[in-house]
Structure 1
Amino acid sequence: MEPGRRVRLLTLLATALGSSLAFLDTTVVVVALPRMEEDLGLGLSGQQWVYLAYALSLSAFYLVGGAVGDRVGLRRTFVLGVVLFAAASLLTALAPGEGVLVAGRALQGVGGAVLTTTSLALLRVTWAGEAGRAIGLWTALTSIATIGGPALGGLIVQTVSWRLVFLINVPLAVVTIALAAAGRGADERSRGRSTLDLVGSSLVAVGLAGVSYTLVEVRERGLAHVLPMLAVGLLALALLVAWTRRVADPIVPPALLRVPGLAAANLVTLVMYAALGAHVLFLPVYLQFLGLGPVLAGLAFAPPSIALILLAPRLGRYADRNGPRLPIAAGAATIGVAALLLLQVATRAQAWTWGLASIVVFSLGLSAVVAPVTAAALSSAPEALAGVATGLNQTVARVGGILSVAAIGALAGALFARRGGAGDTPFDPRASGVARDAGVSAFHAVALSVAALAFAAALLATACLRGSRQRNTPSSRSSVSLRSSPPA
């Protein structure tokens, strides 16, 4: 096999397998939570933190992982992320109580952020002008895991132990590391930026952790409880801005945002993933509210995964050749239509008709969006800053989802109460009468919000993204030219 092709193929397989481990830990753990609670006596709060510790670490360390990758080498950092994820998985599997379990999940989030960010950056560098196709193939491969992963995880939990869900990550991590090492090219750059902004990296982690915690917990715990964390997060972000303006080589060079197309692509990512975040969370909850079981509700996302496998590589290649504007705008508008179809779903029977139609339409739209929007955000960045550009895009996507889930969830709760509903959730499957009608109204507000965000993303893509292939990429541009001014 031609050396260049071998490098690209092995890198693709390594990054897809590594990222699949991180993605599956988000979904499989939800299936295992009841058994964890039985075994360790977690309670509701403990179960929430098993999930939140991972999610908050992910959002806080995407940028940090990208910056480290640019400094010490993307492949080396990717392997480090896989090792950290595997070690944290082992700690989680052996946890004797809630404290160690939550700590293990937080470390898994750090490893997951590092390996996911450097996965995409490695693809951007090794596949160069075919980054859209590579990301499409990566999406397809990781989607295979999302189809069978939750069901397999449920089977493992039911027949063996929830601990095996984490232990199985260790041998898979070994395979990932072997593929990554075998896929290293002879001329591969091992280093990029000459410095690592440790202060900026720390401020990013603290700032995003504080703000993310506030957004997730404010509705459940109240403003008084989360206000200290919000203050810490906002202070860290304010200090980050001041620090960035003074340091010679900050974690996110301000001039990077002025690279043509990069800021626009991240803006579209923010709005698009705000729509996706709310849709992915609330749809399975609503389907169970209508009377479908957890397995059927989980299978609602099998069609999108299958569509990603079949279509994402082709649409990523199309974006490479013709520009990302058309597939992203058309895909986002299609997702908006899919959300509007859910306004017709108020009963279990309608879930099988209008709901199924919505899932099919959503699948087509998602396939058109995912690879092109990610490639658009990465292909504009210079190779020396591929890691931090990927971390920025991943952070923007995660923050978009957190913002929308918090805001749309608050909207649904307020509408539920206004329509006469009572209880901790608008979507209690045991509800009847006025409470049930209020729950349906609350979800319809969710669907309208998702549709509005998707259509907004379509308009932004049409207005801001390029409609033709990018002729001159900044890959060869010196990263020095993208740094901020020296300290005053």
Structure 2
Amino acid sequence: MSTTPLDAAQEQKSKAPPPRNLALALVVIATAQLMIVLDASIVTIALPEIQTDLGFSDANRQWVVTAYALAFGSLLLLGGRLGDLFGRRRMFVAGVVLFTLASLLGGFAPNEPLLLASRALQGAGAALASPAALALINTTFPAGKERNRAMAVYAAMSGAGAAVGLILGGVLTEVDWRWTFFVNIPIGLFIAFIAPRVLVESDGHDATLDLPGAVLGTGGLFGIVYGLSHAAEPDASWGDLMTLLPLIGGLALLVAFVFAEARAKHPLLPLRILADRNRATSLFTMLLVGAGMFAMFFFIGLFLQQVLGYSPVRAGLSLLPFSIGIGVGAAIASNLLSRVDPRWIAGAGGLLVTAGMLLFTRLDADSTYASGLLPGILVMSFGMAFLFIPLTLTATARISPNDAGAAASALNTAQQIGGAIGIAALSTVFTGAAADKGKELLARVMEQAQSQGLPIPSNPTEQAAAAQAFQQQYGAEIQAFATTQGFWVAAGMIFIGALAAVILLNVKHEELATDGHAAAHVG
């Protein structure tokens, strides 16, 4: 493909001198990304308090988490393209402002509908700001060590955000659950004030917004995330109508989206982005990494509270080593990128995460935090850093400046959709394994009772008492067994991602030291 005058203008703009204070620019981008990612999990520990205060039912309380994921995941492609069209710094600031206002609404929400509306608006703001943040790294930081370090910090925030959210959520809930929303306000105002002064703006370009693509892409992703989220509900299943219809409808809309994008003059997601083997591999691997990471936090959080009996604050603080480990791992991975090709770093990271998952499969009702959980948490933290950083770079390598926002949003979309897939799939595995283990233990108890000539409970009162006693005695064992089965599946997902990265990625480490725009115009 030949370089057009517009491409040349964009390339020239991308070579504009970076701002003097790169450190402050990095603080702004990293803080925004951390705020966006941790908000997916910060309210998780506060859910019981929110439910009691606002009168949520057991069935509806999970929508406090899901409403954010739905809006975030389904609007990411649109958010990335808006940044390409109208300027990424402008969309970054607009997204942060919307996110901050939504947090204010959530903190003062007097009832269930307003709280859910605030969570959806937070997701919409995140969908504008997150892809713009990643794309702004390319326009703000010079190629080479500066950009690699910035990408490392960004990736560390993306990986550690869920753990930080659980920690912060536990601490703030002790004060008042509303502070899980209010904490965003001073941070958001700081970012919105500083960003225009330290970040380089990208040129927007004259093109109409692909409205058919926006409707089809957003609707398709909404259907997929909704269906997967519904499948993970306690009383739902993969065969439920409210699971199947959104999934089938979402897939149909995404197929129509691909055909529409192939014919659109200014597509929401240019298919040339996905045609690049390195980019497609990065997105596929990130999908699987997102599935494993979100599921890990979900199941470890349950294990800490329901098996080890930890309080919310203690459970959150127990994940602090993950945040520390991913920060150390990010620094190591960033330095390696100047000497080692990304495929080997990502492959090593995938193997470390797989090993961490396999360590978790050894958990049982008698496991302790120090010997049972901590080794796996530390191994996984380093592995996640080694995965996130090269994948973030290879997903945006050899990209035209005009497509940087779309590529960044595709990467974030892969991570969010992967998280929904992971939680839904592994929750199904968990539920099935728990039921099977419960039946096995119950049969053993009944056999022992019969052999000892003990009476079998016959009336409802006796049966309820027996069920409660059974749960008290064997509940932790059932929970631990079901958790380990979920981790076996997660380990398989991550291992497939590691193999894909090693076999299919072919970006050389030397290419990451240059902008590589010429490569972006080839093919």
* TM-score, L = length of structure 2: 0.83
Paired residue for 2:494? 454
Output the aligned Cα RMSD: 2.8
Paired residue for 1:288? 305
**Partner letter of residue 216 of structure 2?**
L
Q: Cα distance, 1:459 vs. partner?
A: 1.3
**Partner letter of residue 431 of structure 2?**
G
1:11/1:202 CA distance change after superposition, 3 Å: farther
1:58 aligns with 2:79: no
1:226 aligns with 2:224: no
**Partner letter of residue 149 of structure 2?**
R
Paired residue for 1:352? 370
**Partner letter of residue 304 of structure 1?**
F
Q: Cα distance, 1:8 vs. partner?
A: 3.2
Q: Pick from 333, 345, 348: which aligns with 1:327?
A: 345
Q: Cα distance, 1:5 vs. partner?
A: 5.2
Q: Pick from 432, 445, 454: which aligns with 1:414?
A: 432
SS in 2 for 1:420: helix
**Partner letter of residue 109 of structure 1?**
G
Superposed, 1:418-457 pairs within 5 Å as 418-421=436-439, 431-433=471-473, 435-457=475-497
Work out whether residues 17 and 142 of structure 1, in 8 Å CA contact, stay in contact via their aligned partners in 2.
Answer: no
The CA distance in 1 between the partners of 2:388 and 2:509, in whole Å, is 18
SS in 1 for 2:506: coil
The CA distance in 1 between the partners of 2:469 and 2:495, in whole Å, is 31
Q: Cα distance, 1:214 vs. partner?
A: 0.6
Work out whether residues 117 and 394 of structure 1, in 8 Å CA contact, stay in contact via their aligned partners in 2.
Answer: yes
1:313/1:124 CA distance change after superposition, 3 Å: farther
Paired residue for 1:372? 390
**Partner letter of residue 47 of structure 1?**
R
The CA distance in 2 between the partners of 1:171 and 1:382, in whole Å, is 35
Paired residue for 1:400? 418
Work out whether residues 312 and 371 of structure 1, in 8 Å CA contact, stay in contact via their aligned partners in 2.
Answer: yes
Unpaired runs of 5+ in structure 1? 483-488
**Partner letter of residue 94 of structure 2?**
L
Q: Which has the higher helix share?
A: 1
Moved more, 91-100 or 139-148: 139-148
The CA distance in 1 between the partners of 2:231 and 2:305, in whole Å, is 25
Paired residue for 2:150? 134
**Partner letter of residue 166 of structure 1?**
F
Paired residue for 1:40? 54
Q: Cα distance, 1:151 vs. partner?
A: 4.3
Work out whether residues 85 and 107 of structure 1, in 8 Å CA contact, stay in contact via their aligned partners in 2.
Answer: yes
Work out whether residues 33 and 157 of structure 2, in 8 Å CA contact, stay in contact via their aligned partners in 1.
Answer: no
1:96 aligns with 2:110: yes
1:151/1:301 CA distance change after superposition, 3 Å: closer
Moved more, 61-70 or 194-203: 194-203
SS in 2 for 1:345: coil
1:166 aligns with 2:194: no
Moved more, 347-356 or 142-151: 142-151
Q: Cα distance, 1:37 vs. partner?
A: 1.9
The CA distance in 2 between the partners of 1:184 and 1:377, in whole Å, is 22
**Partner letter of residue 48 of structure 2?**
P
**Partner letter of residue 449 of structure 1?**
V
Work out whether residues 140 and 310 of structure 1, in 8 Å CA contact, stay in contact via their aligned partners in 2.
Answer: no
The CA distance in 2 between the partners of 1:225 and 1:115, in whole Å, is 31
Work out whether residues 83 and 132 of structure 2, in 8 Å CA contact, stay in contact via their aligned partners in 1.
Answer: yes
**Partner letter of residue 180 of structure 1?**
A
Q: Pick from 358, 363, 373: which aligns with 2:381?
A: 363
Paired residue for 2:85? 71
1:250/1:467 CA distance change after superposition, 3 Å: closer
Work out whether residues 290 and 429 of structure 1, in 8 Å CA contact, stay in contact via their aligned partners in 2.
Answer: no
1:385 aligns with 2:403: yes
Superposed CA deviations along residues 190-228 of structure 1, whole A, max 9, x for unmatched, are: 214733212212211111111111111125335123344
1:446/1:27 CA distance change after superposition, 3 Å: same
Paired residue for 2:225? 212
Q: Pick from 263, 267, 271: which aligns with 1:250?
A: 267
The CA distance in 2 between the partners of 1:328 and 1:71, in whole Å, is 32
SS in 2 for 1:443: helix
1:195 aligns with 2:208: yes
**Partner letter of residue 387 of structure 2?**
V
1:379/1:225 CA distance change after superposition, 3 Å: same
SS in 1 for 2:337: helix
The CA distance in 2 between the partners of 1:193 and 1:304, in whole Å, is 44
Q: Cα distance, 1:329 vs. partner?
A: 0.5
1:314/1:6 CA distance change after superposition, 3 Å: farther
The CA distance in 2 between the partners of 1:35 and 1:440, in whole Å, is 26
Query: Kindly, what percent of the aligned residue pairs are identical?
Result: 30
Q: Cα distance, 1:150 vs. partner?
A: 4.3
Work out whether residues 304 and 366 of structure 1, in 8 Å CA contact, stay in contact via their aligned partners in 2.
Answer: no
Paired residue for 2:173? 157
* TM-score, L = length of structure 1: 0.89
**Partner letter of residue 167 of structure 1?**
F
Work out whether residues 270 and 400 of structure 1, in 8 Å CA contact, stay in contact via their aligned partners in 2.
Answer: yes
The CA distance in 1 between the partners of 2:469 and 2:335, in whole Å, is 43
Q: Pick from 297, 310, 316: which aligns with 2:315?
A: 297
Paired residue for 2:130? 116
Q: Cα distance, 1:374 vs. partner?
A: 1.2
